[in-house]
A and B are shown apart, each in its own frame.
Chain A
Amino acid sequence: MANKMINKEYAVKVRNLSKDFKTKIRGEGLKEALKSVLKPHYKIIKAVHAISFEVKRGELVAFIGPNGAGKSTTLKMLSGILYPDTGEIRVLNYNPTKDRKKMAYRIGTVFGQKSQLWFHLPAIDSFNLFAKIYEINGKEYQTRLSGLVKRFELEEIMQQPVRKLSLGQRMKCELVLALLHGPDILFLDEPTIGLDVVAKRSIRELIKEINEKENVTIILTSHDMTDIEKICKRAIIINKGVIVYDGSIKELKREYVKKKTIKVLAEGEIRITAEKGVNVLKKSVYGAKIEIDGNKTSLKNVVAKIMKQNEVVDITIEEPPIEEIIENIYRK
């Protein structure tokens, strides 16, 4: 019966969403502190300013933004924690603040930094408790649980107290916990934080798998750019309360990767000068790291010049890591 309300096409629709915060401002010192108690002054911070975007059902979207950029504010409005000032939000066709209780049954959350499993108990106890909390029907629960346990390979793990599990095993259990009630949308915040490379890969694969198999819409926030690259196809970048990029991650790299980094090691003293489109990032006696802006100069020419002016021992040409790409977007 809840399914009737759920929009078949869109998981999230946001139009002209704005949110301001009032904070107290006060000057330094004792006098100002007293003044601020008697006659408080407020400053209005525009956290989110008229943003609009849509997420289709089954999409894998990354939400990127520096701290204080409006990213968490937006996500809190999506989950019904904060009231928007103006604008419209629909999540699974619910109004997050009005239908918060109903919506709770259809969304799942995983916080990499905050476990929802009971630490001293085996994961299965947490699963069983969640089944009661989300009012999952007994038989349905057993089928769902065994399916997830099989896919995540938790047979042996789930009987052990969570505190005995490795971080990777714990994160798998966190994911299962969030999926038990078959949510339509999953909010993942830093799902691979603290994990080793192998565990990270495993978690990323599982996330992609469940997205594919169950058509769960996934909204990912992470400071780990590899998470974002490997899992998501689309990125929404928020900075200073506005959306500065909304598109595919491939496009993001292509459009902003007109920059290349060149590392050179020469036999003698290195001869490199900054010029138009060439930025010397680091320079020592025999080596240098430079950045080339493909918009202002040609890679071919710069490399040719370096090879001509130096006895090059080693040269590496790289794309800047996606962090830098994003940072450049932030700086705009």
Chain B
Amino acid sequence: MTFTKYYAIAKTNFINSFTYIFDTLASTFFIGIVIFIFIYLWKAIYASNEIIAGFTIVMMLWYLVMTEAIVTSQSRVLQEIGEEVISGNIANYLTKPYNYLLYKYAYTIGRAILRFLLIFIVCGIIVLLMLGPLTIALYVLPFIMITAFLAITLHFLMMASFALFALWFENAQALEFIYSKIVFTIGGMLIPLELFPAWISGISMFLPFSYVAYHPAKLFVAFSFQNFIQVATMQIVWVTVFLLIAIIMYKTYIKRLQINGG
């Protein structure tokens, strides 16, 4: 019974996102430009080496396509939730027969899946045309989809947890900025962690941010079943951790709202 309603919410927002698809395509276009620029950047860097830190140039750009698709499929979610926290508008959801976090998740996933597909396809075509295809076995794809989905879920839960901090910050934009820059750098969104100095990459590989971008993207360009087990397991662990954090923070926030009116 309960699953039906959240599935319906996700599906409705998926369809809803189609209605303003031109907006989405426009922003995807700009991501495409970023990819375009990076292709030239990496070409310059790869002029003297065929392999850098275990990545060929083809792997490097497909890595970027994957991280972009995962991360930017949910742009501004932190800000959206943060604004609802600050304004106290979350209270309006209390009179509805569903849970706010689950609603937000279903709603976001509906849109994120469409955006993920669009970004992946558009950026993938650019890389395909300019550099060529990724060597990847088709049977690997379902596993990649699992880790991508877990990455998107983890990304959402971290953003929701961060956004609930907005209560103490009065400004959701600052939090969005901080979080996105962390994922950008030590999350491995822009460049794989192997390229960082050992002490940074060492720590970053264990932090949850890398399970949003680096690990699933690395798995995509250099698949091994063993690595898949390790990545998926750690993603589930971090998802559980942030799920608990989000639930606890949400409940605390709601209690506070109900006593003090926000």
- A256 proximal to B (CB < 8 A): no
Q: Is B261 a contact partner of A134 (Cβ separation < 8 A)?
A: no
Docked complex: B17-42 residues within 8 A CB-CB of A:
19-20
Instruction: Assess the B8–A107 pair: CB atoms within 8 A.
Output: no
A50 to chain B, nearest CB (A): 18
Choose one: A73, A83, A132; the contact of B4 (CB below 8 Å).
Answer: A132
Smallest CB separation, A136 vs chain B (Å): 11
B20 touches A100 (CB 8 A): no
Interchain CB contact under 8 A, B258 and A118: no
Kindly state whether residue A109 has any CB partner on chain B within 8 Å: yes
A128, B5: Cα distance in complex, Å? 11
B48 at the binding interface (Cβ < 8 Å):
no
Asked if residues A121 and B16 are in contact (CB atoms below 8 Å), the reply is yes
B44 in contact (CB, < 8 A): no
Q: Within the complex, which residue of A73, A82, A101, A121 is in contact with B97, where a contact is CB–CB below 8 Å?
A: A101
Q: Which residues of A contact B20 (CB under 8 A)?
A: 120
| A91 CA / B261 CA spacing, docked (Å) | 20
Choose among A47, A104, A125, A161 the residue that contacts B96 (Cβ–Cβ < 8 A).
A104
Which residues in B have their C-beta under 8 angstroms from that of A129?
Answer: 8-9, 12
A118 touches B16 (CB 8 A): yes
Q: Is the CB of A135 within 8 A of B260?
A: no
Q: Tell me the bound Cα distance from A324 to B98 in angstroms.
A: 42
Which B residues are CB-close (under 8 A) to A79? Answer: 94-95
Chain B contact-residue range equals: 20 to 34
Q: In whole angstroms, what is the CA distance A101 to B100 when docked? A: 12
Please determine whether A76 and B15 come into contact, CB atoms closer than 8 angstroms: no
Complex Cα spacing A231 to B19, Å: 38
Chain A residue contacts of B96, Cβ below 8 A: 104, 133
CB of B185 to closest CB in A, whole Å: 31
Cross-chain contact A133 with B8 (CB below 8 angstroms): yes
The answer to whether B97 touches A133, judged by C-beta atoms less than 8 angstroms apart, is yes
* Chain B residues with CB below 8 A from A161, complex form: 19
Contact of B261 among A73, A80, A118, A128 (CB under 8 A): A73
Contacts of B8 in A (CB 8 A): 128-129, 132-133
> Which residue of B16, B92, B98, B261 contacts A133 across the interface (Cβ within 8 Å)?
B98
Give residues of chain B (68-125) contacting chain A, Cβ–Cβ below 8 Å.
91-92, 94-98
Please determine whether B95 and A125 come into contact, CB atoms closer than 8 angstroms: no
Q: Is the CB of B95 within 8 A of A118?
A: no
**How far apart sit A128 and B12, CA to CA, in the bound complex (Å)?**
10
| Closest chain A residue, CB of each to CB of B258 | A83
A266 to nearest B CB, angstroms?
54
B261: chain A residues at CB < 8 Å are 21, 47, 73, 76, 82
Report yes or no: A21 in contact with B97, Cβ–Cβ below 8 A. Answer: no
Return chain B residues, CB-CB under 8 Å to A118: 12, 16
Residues B5 and A80 in contact, CB atoms below 8 Å apart: no
* A-side contacts of B198, CB under 8 Å: none
25 example contacts (A-B, Cβ-Cβ < 8 A) are as follows A21-B260, A73-B261, A76-B91, A76-B261, A79-B95, A80-B94, A81-B94, A81-B95, A81-B257, A82-B261, A83-B259, A100-B95, A104-B95, A104-B96, A114-B92, A121-B12, A121-B15, A121-B16, A125-B15, A132-B8, A133-B8, A133-B96, A133-B97, A133-B98, A134-B97
| Residues in chain B within 8 A of chain A (CB atoms) | 1, 4-5, 8-9, 12, 15-16, 19-20, 91-92, 94-98, 257-261
Please give me the 8 A-B residue pairs with the lowest Cβ-Cβ distance, nearest first.
A120-B19, A132-B8, A104-B97, A81-B91, A83-B258, A133-B5, A79-B95, A132-B5
Known: A21-B261, A81-B95, A133-B98; 12 extra A-B contacts, CB below 8 A, are A80-B94, A81-B91, A81-B94, A104-B97, A105-B97, A114-B92, A118-B12, A128-B8, A132-B4, A134-B97, A135-B1, A161-B19
